[in-house]
Amino acid sequence: MLFYLSLCTFLGINLVYIIKKFFNKTVFILSLAISFWIISLPTYSWIGEGEIGAIILRNLSEVLLSLLNIAKFFVLGLDIRELLGKFPISYNINYLYFWIVILYTLASATTLTVVLSYFSQFITILKIRYFHTSSNHIFLGLSDNNLKVANQLNKLTPKAKIIFTPIAGESISVQPFLKYENNISSLLKQLSNAEQNNYYILNKDVSSIESAIDLLKIYGNKITNDYVYVQDSSKVLEMYLQKQKREDSQLKVRLINSPRTTIYNYFFEHSKYLTRLFKNKGKIIIIGDNEISKEAIKLLLWLAQIVRYELDLLLITSSSKLEEDLKYDMPTLFDNIQYETPHYFEFKVLPELTPSFINSYLKEFQSFNYVFLMLDDFTNLEMVNYLQRNFDFSFGFSFTLSSPSLYDLNSLEYNDNLIDYYPFSVHFNSELEKKALNLHQKFQNQFVEKNFFNNQYNYFSSMARALGEKYGEKKRNDYDNLEKEHNRWSMFLKTEGWRYNSTKSNSMKHHHLLIPFEQLPEQEKSKDLN
């Protein structure tokens, strides 16, 4: 009976984790201990008769002995044959022997794994603390973004240490990088010798924000040159930072909005090729309904104001979600009355965003100006091949690739066409960011961290201004340039959800200057002249 109870206990405890395909070391060790304890119960001298005090003391002693045997069970100190000799004669020793050997083998393997893990962790700590202490790159959690950036860093700075530490109970394998198993507080003690530590929390979830806030609390008011890069498209961390009293000398926080930053930098770095967008009339087609598609639409809307281009957008999606999101994000741009250069939206929902459905629909068009492909990597590549085979190629095209391997394979052939999703150079100290910071500092040179890097309105409005200068014409008079810049700024605000109101309110996204240029006060007209 105890044999079956022990077997069922072991399987029952681990069954949930087997189904979930998730291994929990603590639970596994606990299941081994309980199963062994159950099967070994008949080997102890339990008494139930006699003086109550003696019964309690004797049985308590047996319990302690059973716990001692569990300890021996895990430290390879158990004599199985001696244990079997203590079972009553009526027991089937063959079954017991087999099951105990199985449990003992699993326990021994677990113990060996733990010992090797601790030894490996000891070696890791030595490497972290004493070798190549100039800079460390620490990734909190395992994600595709984290791994991609880590591999890029490894190529750029092969001597720098790259360290992964799990969050939220993750079990990770990060070869060839270092893995630190303990919490971030413990890791910080090992990093004390480094000249600079850079933390990366690029998962798009709540745990990332929580980890970033914990890190900020650990650092406190400490003067440091360390950085933390955090994915924060939801602006949750931004709101937290704006409420804190922080100085530029504290832990520096860089908020990452990867879809927006990716498309901004692509347009900045490939401006010579992309100017063709605004030279020919015709539909600009965006295929895809993800975040980068949405950011590309917003960028085109305000960038077209710089060159006074009537934007005719055809948005091909698999559902109405993108249209609903855009109407929610920027409601004023769907009004009939606009003072900026006009724009037009057309939405087409296909049953599936597959090459066959897309191709069938595109055949309806004789020509179009430009195509943005923002689907999965293989669909994008298949669509590019189709467009090249079946159209006269008078149009331009761009497409996203998230796989580093696929990017490398296609970079020579499609250099200007490739939108590399999450490149290191884009998100960390890019040329566009430097120009944007310079523009920001012309207006305010204090509290750079809080008012530029930790304020996404200031950050991206300066990025948009710097990007707009790439596409703007310098031949016309200053007045004309100012009007176009005002319209670009106005359209940028509207893509961010702002609307006109006679009283400015940041919380309500109301602005009193969302009016035609000729209606602006004279001091506002000339604000950007210099």
201-230 residue pLDDT tens: 887 777 788 889 999 999 999 999 999 999
Task: Inform me whether the pLDDT recorded for 187 exceeds 90.
Answer: no
With contact defined as beta carbons under 8 Å apart, do 440 and 461 qualify? no
pLDDT at 445: 64
Rounded mean pLDDT of 431-439? 93
Distance CA 157, CA 147 (A): 15
Task: Inform me whether the pLDDT recorded for 150 exceeds 70.
Answer: yes
The identity of residue 103, as a single letter, is: L
Please write the tens of the pLDDT for every residue from 257-282: 989 999 999 999 999 999 989 988 89
Rounded mean pLDDT of 66-90? 71
The identity of residue 448, as a single letter, is: V
In the chain, pLDDT over 90 holds for what percent of residues? 41
Output the pTM of the full model: 0.77
With contact defined as beta carbons under 8 Å apart, do 224 and 199 qualify? no
Distance CA 31, CA 29 (A): 5
**Beta strands of 14-107 (E only): which ranges?**
none
Distance CA 462, CA 433 (A): 8
Q: Which of 127, 108, 509, 459 is nearest to 328 (CA)?
A: 509
What lies within 8 Å, CB to CB, of 286 at 6+ separation is: 293, 296, 297, 313, 314, 315, 316, 371, 372, 374
Average pLDDT, the chain: 83
Structure token pair of residue 261: 């930053």
Backbone φ/ψ region at 406: left (φ over 0), alpha (ψ -120 to 50), beta: alpha
How does residue 453 score in pLDDT terms, banded at 50, 70 and 90? Answer: very high
- Looking at per-residue confidence, does 325 or 425 come out higher? 325
Distance CA 327, CA 321 (A): 10
Could you tell me the strand order of the sheet in which 196-201 lies?
178-179, 161-165, 135-140, 196-201, 227-231, 252-256
Rounded mean pLDDT of 484-492? 94
- Looking at per-residue confidence, does 503 or 183 come out higher? 503
Under DSSP, the state recorded for 81 is H
- Looking at per-residue confidence, does 365 or 44 come out higher? 365
The H or E element containing residue 92 is none
What lies within 8 Å, CB to CB, of 479 at 6+ separation is: 525
Q: Which of 473, 530, 470, 460 is nearest to 308 (CA)?
A: 473
How does residue 142 score in pLDDT terms, banded at 50, 70 and 90? Answer: confident
As to burial, measured by CB atoms within 10 angstroms (0-12 exposed, 13-18 middle, 19+ buried), residue 373 is buried
Task: Inform me whether the pLDDT recorded for 169 exceeds 60.
Answer: no
With contact defined as beta carbons under 8 Å apart, do 303 and 471 qualify? yes
- Looking at per-residue confidence, does 305 or 181 come out higher? 305
Distance CA 529, CA 173 (A): 55
pLDDT at 119: 60
Rounded mean pLDDT of 326-334? 93
What lies within 8 Å, CB to CB, of 251 at 6+ separation is: 215, 216, 219, 222, 224, 226, 227, 228
Distance CA 283, CA 407 (A): 27
Task: Inform me whether the pLDDT recorded for 463 exceeds 90.
Answer: yes
Task: Inform me whether the pLDDT recorded for 133 exceeds 70.
Answer: no
pLDDT at 465: 93
Backbone φ/ψ region at 21: left (φ over 0), alpha (ψ -120 to 50), beta: left
Q: Please, where in the chain does CATH 3.40.50.720 lie?
A: 132-256, 261-427
The H or E element containing residue 151 is helix 144-156
What lies within 8 Å, CB to CB, of 527 at 6+ separation is: none
**CATH 3.40.50.300 correct for 132-256:** no
Task: Inform me whether the pLDDT recorded for 77 exceeds 90.
Answer: no
Count of Cβ atoms closer than 10 Å to residue 309 Cβ: 20
Distance of alpha carbon 227 from its chain centroid, rounded? 16
CATH code for the part of the protein at 261-427: 3.40.50.720
> Using alpha carbons only, how large is the chain's radius of gyration in Å?
32
- Looking at per-residue confidence, does 468 or 426 come out higher? 468
Under DSSP, the state recorded for 339 is S
- Looking at per-residue confidence, does 301 or 172 come out higher? 301
Rounded mean pLDDT of 385-401? 85
How does residue 19 score in pLDDT terms, banded at 50, 70 and 90? Answer: low
How does residue 424 score in pLDDT terms, banded at 50, 70 and 90? Answer: low
